[in-house]
Structure 1
Amino acid sequence: MSTGLFSDLLVVDCASFIAGPAAATVLSDFGARVIKIEPPGIGDAYRNLFRLRGTPDDVDYFWALDSRNKESLALDLRRAEAQAVLRTLVRKADVFITNIPFPARERLGVRAQDLMPLNSRLIYASLTPYGEHGPERDRTGFDATVWWARSGLMDLVRPTAGAEPAISMPGMGDHPTAMAMYGAILTALYKRQLTGEGSEVSTSLLANGLWANGCQVQAALCGYELAPRPKRGDRGALNEMYRASDDRHFIIVSTNPARDWPLLAKAVGHAEWLEDPLFATPEARLMNGPDLVARFDATFAEHPYEHWSKILSEGDVTFGIVATIYDHFTDGQIEANGLFPEFSDHWLRTVDSPFQVQGEAKLPPRMAPDIGQHTRALLAEFGCSPAEIEALAVD
């Protein structure tokens, strides 16, 4: 029996890929018991993502991250006997999460109207690419096609206006969407605490992409025509990326140029720039931006990043390194906040869910399960006879 804040919650993860299952993972971090439903044989389709990249002996890093702590129940939901097992599980569950496309939900009997009558306290959590309504409700999609591309983020996040749009990284929109799904579930659980009744909650990649791009979308809604991102040198020297002598890039950001311009000029050892007519006013600094950026380029090229990190920190300048994922291994800030907890049953570490509750420790993560690893034990727990277990526990 698990311990933790949500140790009394039973969650059925009947979703695939990332956003829906990752919401269940966050619940499991705080002690919820999560049973992962996946097809027998090849398992969840998310496993295929790694099969295309790795070898059977390698660690499936996608699966390890988003399916940690879970129990795998392999069921072929096309079979009536498997659907009966799922209904038994739903009667005991607190939360049911799915992102199965709507037509398939109807065929498999896992729509809200199919399952919620079985359990008046059930939280039915629905994740879709494009939302619960409208002409595209049945379309398939991924975070790359919806959260990233459809939202407008892909169009806007370019180094310059003429640059080709960038492809997103795996899970880049799914993991934020998972947090929206988590928030919806917790809201419904609070409502259940007040009313005693379950709820149907939903979110979509489209809604989360628009929210992520909300500042720019709101500008459009207000009638503003946003200019394309200007080229380097024309967007202001105080909001620019620079390179140190060791080829490490870093970015400087200012929202208060009147304050930050003197701090930066003094920090880099060029207080005389403050008296230069070319840079005496905000308008002059913008007009002469290419010249000022070139001066900063030459200055920052004189020393490695470690030197500038110390100088800029002491000068109260807001900046940040353009880190690689391999920098994280030795990042003292990440370590100090415990953002890479160790698996309790494996030598690996994983990425922690992105918040803490003071006084409520998360459970040490457990490695993600193999396909159907817990099927027989779970079927017995849910009352199946030995003959039924043999019939259902197929490879």
Structure 2
Amino acid sequence: MLAGIKVVELATYIAAPGAAGILADWGAEVIKVEPLAGCPMRYTMANMGADHLQGSPIFDLDNRGKKGIAINTATPEGVEAVKRLVKDADIFITNVRPGGLERSGLDYKSLSAINPRLVYASVTGYGLEGPDRDRPGFDVAAFYARSGVGYLQTVKGREPTILRTGIGDHTTSMATVGGILAAIVERQTTGKGRLVEASLLRTGIYAAGSDTAVQLKYGKLGSTKSRHESVAPLSNFFKAKGDEWFVIVPRQGSVDWKAVCRVIGKPELETDERFNNPKVRRTNAALLVDILDAAFGEHDIAHWSKSLDAEDMIWAPLMKPGDVAKDPQAIAAGAFVEVPEHDGNGTYLSPASPIRFPGANDGPKGPAPALGEHTLAVLHDLGYSDADIEKLKAAKAIA
């Protein structure tokens, strides 16, 4: 779908490469510019002490189907090579901090002067303005901790826990893709590109927007409670026989309260004065959760699946990622794709991009590139001669 769109990515880690990775899945030509040492995400398995595992599925997820070149942008020659790449590019994506881009001449103002049609996407921790514009910010810091998401996810009186790898990054990746494509649409009318600014902080604040909107409107917000202290005790996780957890998400009012009473075989609770309206259910939350725990513990998840579905309840099992990969519904939704191995021998399973376009070739176009795999080919395409390339090597602009 994005055939003919050229993307230059000057980025490491996850959020910005993830955005370019989605564009690559959708058919764009993405040229990934890495430092000579490579993106740190290439080495995640080794850094976690899993040296025996080949490659890095974390890196591959965000970089499959790209061309990879390794350039030292701390040299004038390296910067010039990137500028040549940008001359006929449609999109430039970077997560380099603003000050560094300005010093090297790879900021929006400099590159748009070379290519006025360029859509320039900046992905940072905290944005392009303000006192923290050059502060480094991974998703645990900028998206999770500083945005309020981490506080909202922490149960009152408990210690906060770290966000799992890439959740805030990939949320920001999706937001960045939306901004980029909006700018591409605008360019069809104006003929000019624009700066697209994404940040982990702003995306985190929006992701927590429902709670944050209440805070902004009323100046206060309830804390996250434990299961037995829940403001809405029906909206909770419960454990079936066999230690399998599931969540119930009731609709507003008392419709689902009556349904739950029927599901657990206790219709008398419908009119029990301790539980017959939301206010008293909140007051007696601990007792109600104990009653529901005892009832749900009598049967396995298969039993409750049938009973809850029969009442058209909104619920879902709490699944491990290994089980999600086998879930017939996740498979039917196209949530996983086969990615070619780099050596050409077979494929392996990986998460799909977040959107499906039925009938379109919207999956991986190839494996993630090896470090610097396409450096010489891309430079030759830019008009560099063999002698020019030797000069770049001598200047330590390329390896």
TM-score, length basis structure 1: 0.94
Question: Does 2:239 align with 1:243?
Answer: yes
Q: Following the alignment from structure 1 to structure 2, what is the Cα–Cα distance between the partners of residues 364 and 200?
A: 27
Picking from 153, 160, 171, the partner of 1:176 is 171
* Off by >4 Å, runs of 4+ in structure 1: none
Question: Does 2:366 align with 1:371?
Answer: no
Q: Following the alignment from structure 2 to structure 1, what is the Cα–Cα distance between the partners of residues 112 and 261?
A: 63
| AA aligned opposite 2:357 | V
Question: Does 2:229 align with 1:234?
Answer: yes
Q: 1:373 to 1:293 in 2, by over 3 A?
A: same
The gaps in structure 2 that reach 5 residues or longer are none
In the alignment, is the contact (CA less than 8 A) between 1:75 and 1:392 conserved in 2? no
Residue 190 of structure 1 and its aligned partner are, at CA, apart by: 0.6
Q: Following the alignment from structure 1 to structure 2, what is the Cα–Cα distance between the partners of residues 86 and 78?
A: 11
Question: 1:44 aligns to what?
Answer: 39
Picking from 175, 186, 211, the partner of 1:216 is 211
Question: Does 2:158 align with 1:152?
Answer: no
Q: Following the alignment from structure 1 to structure 2, what is the Cα–Cα distance between the partners of residues 101 and 319?
A: 43
Q: Following the alignment from structure 2 to structure 1, what is the Cα–Cα distance between the partners of residues 239 and 307?
A: 15
Question: 2:385 aligns to what?
Answer: 385
Q: 1:288 to 1:378 in 2, by over 3 A?
A: same
Q: 1:308 to 1:100 in 2, by over 3 A?
A: same
Q: Following the alignment from structure 1 to structure 2, what is the Cα–Cα distance between the partners of residues 96 and 35?
A: 10
Residue 32 of structure 1 and its aligned partner are, at CA, apart by: 0.1
SS at match of 2:167: coil
Question: Does 2:155 align with 1:134?
Answer: no
Question: 2:61 aligns to what?
Answer: 65
Q: Following the alignment from structure 1 to structure 2, what is the Cα–Cα distance between the partners of residues 49 and 106?
A: 30
In the alignment, is the contact (CA less than 8 A) between 2:45 and 2:53 conserved in 1? no
In the alignment, is the contact (CA less than 8 A) between 2:353 and 2:363 conserved in 1? no
Residue 329 of structure 1 and its aligned partner are, at CA, apart by: 2.3
Equivalenced residues, count: 389
Question: 1:206 aligns to what?
Answer: 201
Q: Following the alignment from structure 2 to structure 1, what is the Cα–Cα distance between the partners of residues 141 and 293?
A: 37
Question: Does 2:336 align with 1:340?
Answer: yes
Residue 57 of structure 1 and its aligned partner are, at CA, apart by: 5.0
Question: Does 2:79 align with 1:105?
Answer: no
Q: Following the alignment from structure 1 to structure 2, what is the Cα–Cα distance between the partners of residues 148 and 43?
A: 26
| AA aligned opposite 1:221 | L
Question: 2:157 aligns to what?
Answer: 162
Q: Following the alignment from structure 1 to structure 2, what is the Cα–Cα distance between the partners of residues 173 and 31?
A: 25
Residue 93 of structure 1 and its aligned partner are, at CA, apart by: 0.6
SS at match of 2:325: helix
| AA aligned opposite 1:380 | H
Picking from 56, 65, 71, the partner of 1:75 is 71
Deviations 1:68-110 (A, max 9, x none): 1111011111222222221111101110111111222123221
Deviations 1:209-236 (A, max 9, x none): 1101112222221133223223333323
SS at match of 2:254: helix
Question: Does 2:265 align with 1:269?
Answer: yes
Question: 1:122 aligns to what?
Answer: 118
Question: Does 2:357 align with 1:357?
Answer: yes
Picking from 17, 22, 45, the partner of 1:26 is 22
Question: Does 2:315 align with 1:319?
Answer: yes
TM-score, length basis structure 2: 0.93
SS at match of 1:278: coil
SS at match of 2:320: coil
Deviations 1:248-301 (A, max 9, x none): 111111132311011111112222222433323333333322222111111111
Q: Following the alignment from structure 1 to structure 2, what is the Cα–Cα distance between the partners of residues 57 and 289?
A: 47
Question: 1:330 aligns to what?
Answer: 326
Q: Following the alignment from structure 2 to structure 1, what is the Cα–Cα distance between the partners of residues 61 and 330?
A: 17
**Sequence identity percentage:** 36
Correspondence list, 1:239-318, <5 A: 239-318=235-314
In the alignment, is the contact (CA less than 8 A) between 2:352 and 2:363 conserved in 1? no
SS at match of 1:286: helix
Q: 1:114 to 1:281 in 2, by over 3 A?
A: closer
Residue 24 of structure 1 and its aligned partner are, at CA, apart by: 0.7
In the alignment, is the contact (CA less than 8 A) between 1:151 and 1:210 conserved in 2? yes
Residue 306 of structure 1 and its aligned partner are, at CA, apart by: 1.8
Residue 344 of structure 1 and its aligned partner are, at CA, apart by: 3.6
Q: Following the alignment from structure 2 to structure 1, what is the Cα–Cα distance between the partners of residues 356 and 72?
A: 37
SS at match of 2:306: helix
Q: Following the alignment from structure 1 to structure 2, what is the Cα–Cα distance between the partners of residues 292 and 135?
A: 49
SS at match of 1:25: helix
Task: Indicate the larger mover: 339-348 or 271-280.
Answer: 271-280
The gaps in structure 1 that reach 5 residues or longer are none
In the alignment, is the contact (CA less than 8 A) between 1:238 and 1:257 conserved in 2? no
Residue 238 of structure 1 and its aligned partner are, at CA, apart by: 1.1
Question: Does 2:87 align with 1:94?
Answer: no
Q: 1:145 to 1:364 in 2, by over 3 A?
A: closer
